[in-house]
Amino acid sequence: MALREVLLEQLKSVHDENSWFVCFNYAVRELEEPQAVEKVQGQPHSIAEIVHHLYFYNERYLSRFRGEEVAERPRHYDTFQNHGQMEWHSRVADFQVVMTMFRQEIQSCSQEKLEMWAETLSNLFMHNAYHIGQIVTIRKRNGWWGVNPVVKG
């Protein structure tokens, strides 16, 4: 499998198709804002905060990948906070757009660019998988996980 296909497969696995683990779309499926913003005892972040964090990093890396300038943030900037006071479903939709644009960029970029970015993109997608696992864990602990996903393995 070529590098482009590997990265597209990783992106698909964390975004919109269950594979060895649950993808983002399935992890947040049918989750409403009251559940998303609830802080669970023993967890440092709510599901909504985790999604803000994922959006923050994926949007910034997409911009960098496209060659766009990315504003620096203060060292203490909390990426888990809802700085724009986004409504839950809007933030999920924003994340969907970023991931779709990432897919398009990876499909159309040069091989040289892909090779230069491969490690960074792979690490970003693993970062996504880690936090998606947190979302699933929070949902299961709170009884918000209904249907068992079909996961390859």
CA distances from 108 to 5, 44, 80, 118, 147 (A): 12, 38, 31, 14, 36
Q: pTM score > 0.85 for this model?
A: yes
pLDDT at 147: 54
Is residue 39 within 8 A of residue 48, CB to CB? The reply is no
**Listed residue (98, 104, 100, 103) closest to 52, CA to CA:** 98
Domain assignment of residue 100, yes or no = yes
Decide if 121 is inside a domain: yes
**What dihedral do alpha carbons 75, 81, 83, 88 form, nearest 10°?**
150
pLDDT digits (tens, 9 = 90+) for 32-52: 999 999 987 777 899 999 999
| Mean per-residue pLDDT over the chain, rounded | 91
Q: With cut-offs at 50, 70 and 90, classify the pLDDT of residue 153.
A: very low
> Is 124 a domain residue?
yes
In a domain, 35, yes or no: no
State which residues form the domain around 133: 44-69+82-142
- Asked, for residue 119, whether it belongs to a domain, the answer is yes
pLDDT at 106 over 90: yes
From the CA atom positions of the chain, what is the Rg in Å?
Answer: 16
For residue 10, being part of any structural domain is answered with: no
Residue-wise pLDDT tens digits, 70-83: 988 877 778 787 77
* pLDDT(149) > 60: no
Number of domains in the chain: 1
Residue 115 inside a domain? The answer is yes
Asked whether residue 50 is domain-assigned, the answer is: yes
Question: pLDDT tens for residues 88-100?
Answer: 999 999 999 999 9
